[in-house]
Structure 1
Amino acid sequence: MKSFYLILVVQSLFVVSAFSQSFDFFYFVQQWPGSYCDTKKSCCFPSSGKPDADFGIHGLWPNYKDGSYPSNCDPDSHFDQSQISGVLRRMRSEWPTLACPSNDGIQFWAHEWEKHGTCSALDQHAYFQTTLDLKNQVNLLQSLTSAGIEPNGNTYSLESIKDAIKQDVGYTPFVECNNDSSGNSQLYQIYHCVDNSASKLIECPVFPRGRCGSQIEFPTF
């Protein structure tokens, strides 16, 4: 009987280990709300009110080194709001939704968990807590404003933005742009990479596709 239970434990550990190694790294993605809102599509503030003028979390996404990624790994694992009850205040502040119509963020967080979190080898509470903790490590607005790069509608060089973040955070970011309502390129999302245990930042094995121009706008919010 002891041998039987030992086999079950070993098999369980193997499954957990295999699953945890089924992707190579995470993208940790933060978004500038001014750029989300300053598009032809516009935005809606969450039911909790206008978010702070700070980068908000978009997500923590498992990825492969070939540029592809797993998604929706467990269709039976649905978002459970009770799992984030202890961090709900931080979720509203640091992981706000800007989608229309105005809402409480539950649909956004459910999407992130079900598409990406179920592939993370973390349980729901750990997934959201870990992502919030990463934001504490990567204070993008502080990195940029300390270098004189402020969200005032001015244009800055892409290289100066990347250099300011790398100097402060210690790792090379990927900068994603979108277009404002007039078609101008603007600072939209910043990607950093995290090892597949979600325990530390790393240099990105591969960057997402897409590129910004050499000069980009940092809009107000």
Structure 2
Amino acid sequence: MAARSSHLSLALLLVMAVGCAAQDYDFFYLVLQWPGSYCDTRQSCCYPKSGKPAADFGIHGLWPNRDDGSYPQNCNPDAAFDPSKVSDLLSELRANWPTLACPTNDGLRFWGHEWEKHGTCAANAFNEHGYFQTALRLRDQLNVLDALTSGGVSPDGGYYTLGQIKDAIKRGTGFEPYVECNRDESGNTQLYQLYFCVDTAGDRFIDCPVLPRGRACSNRIEFPAF
């Protein structure tokens, strides 16, 4: 009887451990980046080997997060990025998840970093291929640039209020993002990144349970051309 009780206790502990691992994050941030703002800084940028990206919002990452504002990272050192597992997605990754870091490169290091730091922490939701495929699908589903331009907010070097930007995106996508800004070489605040929240399965957008700790915006925001 004691042996059976011991086995049951061990089984219960294993179930609890699996359950805890499966609940190590509460939602995702899908982070989209405007390339014109990445490049228009003192640091500048380098176009990838595949050429200048399109003037559209690219993916920065799909990041598991917790409701208390913390987040898991680098969850499986053994799950190194393997480009062969996303070979069918490489053209989409180059187009919609481009790297702008210097020196000029092919993007593999950037994608590897995102998978190893963030993607491995969502292994209960998807494998490496599923991680990248999900982020690409979610980005396409939003169509943020169309939402902005339809709302009168265009990447033409003009200035807009934070309210104008949020309202245009919410009308066009159904969700209000957290807007992160950076500064150009002259110190002007510019539209840099947008954070949208996604459920734990990566299936649908949700209202954000907590806002990120991104760089706040002034109320006069430049939307630079690219």
Report if TM-score (shorter chain) is over 0.5.
Answer: yes
CA distance in 1, matches of 2:15, 2:32: 33
Q: Give secondary structure in 1 for the equivalent of 2:218.
A: coil
Aligned match for 1:213, one of 184, 199, 218: 218
Partner of 1:63: 65
Moved over 6 A (4+): 9-14
CA distance in 1, matches of 2:60, 2:22: 22
TM-score by length of 1: 0.92
Offset at residue 199 of structure 1 (A): 1.0
Amino acid at match of 1:219: P
Aligned match for 1:135, one of 107, 132, 139: 139
Partner of 1:101: 103
Aligned match for 1:173, one of 147, 172, 177: 177
Q: Identify unmatched segments of 5+ residues in structure 2.
A: 1-7
Deviation sequence 1:84-118 (CA, Å, 0-9, x none): 10111000000000000000000000000000000
- Whether contact under 8 Å (1:48, 1:104) holds in the other structure is yes
Amino acid at match of 1:144: L
Q: Give secondary structure in 1 for the equivalent of 2:197.
A: strand
Residue 124 of structure 2 corresponds to residue 118 of structure 1:
no
Partner of 1:91: 93
Amino acid at match of 1:186: Q
Change (3 A) 1:138 1:16: farther
Of all paired residues, the percent bearing the same amino acid is 59
Partner of 1:161: 165
Change (3 A) 1:14 1:129: farther
Amino acid at match of 2:187: G
Query: Larger deviation: 116-125 or 24-33?
Result: 116-125
- Whether contact under 8 Å (1:20, 1:196) holds in the other structure is no
Offset at residue 156 of structure 1 (A): 0.4
Change (3 A) 1:136 1:17: farther
Give the length in aligned residue pairs.
215
- Whether contact under 8 Å (1:20, 1:197) holds in the other structure is no
Residue 202 of structure 2 corresponds to residue 198 of structure 1:
yes
Q: Give secondary structure in 2 for the equivalent of 1:168.
A: helix
Change (3 A) 1:199 1:10: farther
Q: Identify unmatched segments of 5+ residues in structure 1.
A: 1-6
CA distance in 2, matches of 1:161, 1:98: 24
CA distance in 2, matches of 1:14, 1:82: 34
